[in-house]
Amino acid sequence: MAAAACVPVRVCHQEIVKFDLEIKAAVQDIRDCPGPLSALTELNAAVKEKFRHLRGRIQELEQMAKEQDKESEKQALLREVENHKKQMLSNQAAWRKANLACKIAIDNSQKDQLLQGRDSLRQRKTTKESLAESASNITESLMGISRMMSQQVQQSEETVQTLANSSRTILEANEEFKSMSGTIQLGRKLITKYNRRELTDKMLIFLALALFLATVLYILKKRLFPFL
């Protein structure tokens, strides 16, 4: 590939690293989030968007790798793509763990607040209403996180399938190279054999011609000079 094509590859690498670092920082923010649930929802929306950009850049890098002219450069880029995909899966697992830890912390905080609000009948009534609303919000949030995690699992399965397809493509390329090598060796042997046969044929023709000339000379000698 031309030298100018290296620029988008390098830019793509830089953006992948950038999004990876931003995702790690956002996951840490989720882990440290004190609440409320609306803040956690906003953080998760931001992380989801960063994952979308990261996945797009990885796919672009994979396409660039497939378009490389040199096989060595192509394989090197494909290995980097696989490493980026594995790192993305690791970030997704850390994201899920951070969400779970944050939800537990928020739930415990809300329970503590509810326990401290039981000083009077009015406060108990308010606490029950708040608890019902909080339980509804928690249930809705958990359902949202469950749907989000289901989508991430599906995307992870697609990523694993993509990795398997890449590995299969590499193996098929190696088999083709082996087959081509065997064909080239067979062709070299046939050419060598043909050259040897050609040399043998030339020697036989030369000997036959010499024998023919000797015979002609002998006949001429007997007819023109019988006394010799």
pLDDT at 67: 85
Residue tagged 């329970």 (tokens): 111
**Are residues 47 and 95 in contact, defined by beta-carbon separation less than 8 angstroms?**
yes
User: Is the pLDDT at 115 greater than 50, yes or no?
Assistant: yes
Q: What is the mean pLDDT of residues 186-201?
A: 81
User: Is the pLDDT at 49 greater than 90, yes or no?
Assistant: yes
Helices and strands in the chain: count of H runs, count of E runs: 4, 0
Of 223 and 127, more confident: 223
Torsion of CA 171, 68, 56, 27, to 10 degrees: 70
**Are residues 32 and 5 in contact, defined by beta-carbon separation less than 8 angstroms?**
no
pLDDT at 48: 92
pLDDT at 86: 93
Across all residues in the chain, what is the average pLDDT?
81
User: Is the pLDDT at 4 greater than 50, yes or no?
Assistant: no
Cis peptide before 34 (omega within 30 of 0): no
Residue tagged 């249930």 (tokens): 139
**Are residues 26 and 99 in contact, defined by beta-carbon separation less than 8 angstroms?**
no
Q: What is the mean pLDDT of residues 80-88?
A: 91
